[in-house]
Amino acid sequence: MNSKSILAGAALVFAATAHANPEIVPFVGDEETRIRPDRVYTHALDFGKKWNDPWVNGVQFKSTGQDGANDAGYSWDGFPESDFDFQDGSPLISTPHSETGIYQVLGDFNFGKASGSAWLRGLTPGIVYETRFYHRPFSSGDRWQTFTFKPGGGIEDAKRFNPDGQLEDQMLIYRFEAVNADLEIVFDSSENPEDTYHCYGLVNEQVYEVAPEGGGGTLLM
């Protein structure tokens, strides 16, 4: 399939809706993270304190706590506050393939937010973005979570998932058109209130320069 076919297909699929259902996708290594140096990222965040601003595929993440801002003027707040790092570089039930790239992002995390909202701020209304949370299994038990994404305009898209239900590293992916300048993300760990979500890292990538209408829009390849 050539690039024109990819562009047309993506535009037609996304033209039917300004937001898509969140999904869980497994990945292995930097090459499967979908992070590319030729893309525009409003946010590339690494939670925890073990690593200092790691790089993944030529994109630098900003090490952060629950809130902050980057040099481009984008900000975030409301994320989990408590931090944890793996002293030996290894989670409890899975072993990193290296201590570089995405495995630095996955080498520490913030936790402890059983409920409530976090925000990615400074987005441009009418632009289509893709938010990706990166996480890995911590134990063999249940850690059921529900994330609800609210891009504005009354839209609410939820995903229930268990980060500890498999041995794979995973991405939680949500693609949406920004209705206002903030994406609200509601955390809900009520099924297992003692086992909150481990927030390792995330990116927010600009996908379309303008939202597609009737198959239009400019997809950033």
In this predicted structure, the answer to whether residue 69 has a pLDDT above a threshold of 60 is yes
Contact 104, 51 (CB under 8 A): yes
With respect to residue 19, please indicate whether it lies within any of the assigned structural domains. yes
Percent of the chain scored above 70 by pLDDT? 81
Q: Which residues, at least 6 apart from 162, have a Cβ–Cβ distance to it below 8 Å? A: 142, 143, 144, 145
Q: Give 121-177 pLDDT, tens digit per residue.
A: 999 999 999 999 999 998 888 899 999 999 999 999 999 999 998 888 999 999 999
With respect to residue 220, please indicate whether it lies within any of the assigned structural domains. no
With respect to residue 65, please indicate whether it lies within any of the assigned structural domains. yes
Q: Which residue has the higher pLDDT, 168 or 44?
A: 44
pLDDT band at 181 (very low <50, low <70, confident <90, very high): very high
Average pLDDT of the residues in 179-192: 96
In this predicted structure, the answer to whether residue 92 has a pLDDT above a threshold of 70 is no
> Could you give the number of structural domains in the chain?
1
Average pLDDT of the residues in 79-104: 72
**Pairwise CA distance, residues 190 & 88, whole Å:** 31
With respect to residue 66, please indicate whether it lies within any of the assigned structural domains. yes
In this predicted structure, the answer to whether residue 27 has a pLDDT above a threshold of 70 is yes
Q: Give 190-220 pLDDT, tens digit per residue.
A: 998 899 999 999 999 999 876 666 444 444 5
With respect to residue 184, please indicate whether it lies within any of the assigned structural domains. yes
For residue 20, the 8-state DSSP code is: -
The CA distances from residue 90 to 16, 93, 108, 199, 200, in Å, are 42, 8, 10, 16, 14
With respect to residue 216, please indicate whether it lies within any of the assigned structural domains. no
Q: Which residues, at least 6 apart from 179, have a Cβ–Cβ distance to it below 8 Å? A: 18, 125, 151, 152, 153, 155
Pairing, β 201-208 against β 128-135:
antiparallel
**Pairwise CA distance, residues 107 & 85, whole Å:** 6
In this predicted structure, the answer to whether residue 13 has a pLDDT above a threshold of 50 is no
Whole-number average pLDDT of the chain: 85
**Pairwise CA distance, residues 219 & 82, whole Å:** 38
Q: What is the DSSP string of 98-144?
A: -SSTHHHHTTEEEE---EEEEEEE---TT-EEEEEEEE---SSS---
Task: Tell me which residue range forms the domain holding 48.
Answer: 3-208
- pLDDT at site 18: 76
| CA–centroid distance for 157 within its chain | 14
- pLDDT at site 94: 58
- pLDDT at site 1: 34
- pLDDT at site 11: 39
With respect to residue 215, please indicate whether it lies within any of the assigned structural domains. no
With respect to residue 200, please indicate whether it lies within any of the assigned structural domains. yes
**Pairwise CA distance, residues 129 & 89, whole Å:** 32
Average pLDDT of the residues in 109-121: 96
Provide the whole-model pTM: 0.86
Pairing, β 128-135 against β 115-121:
unpaired
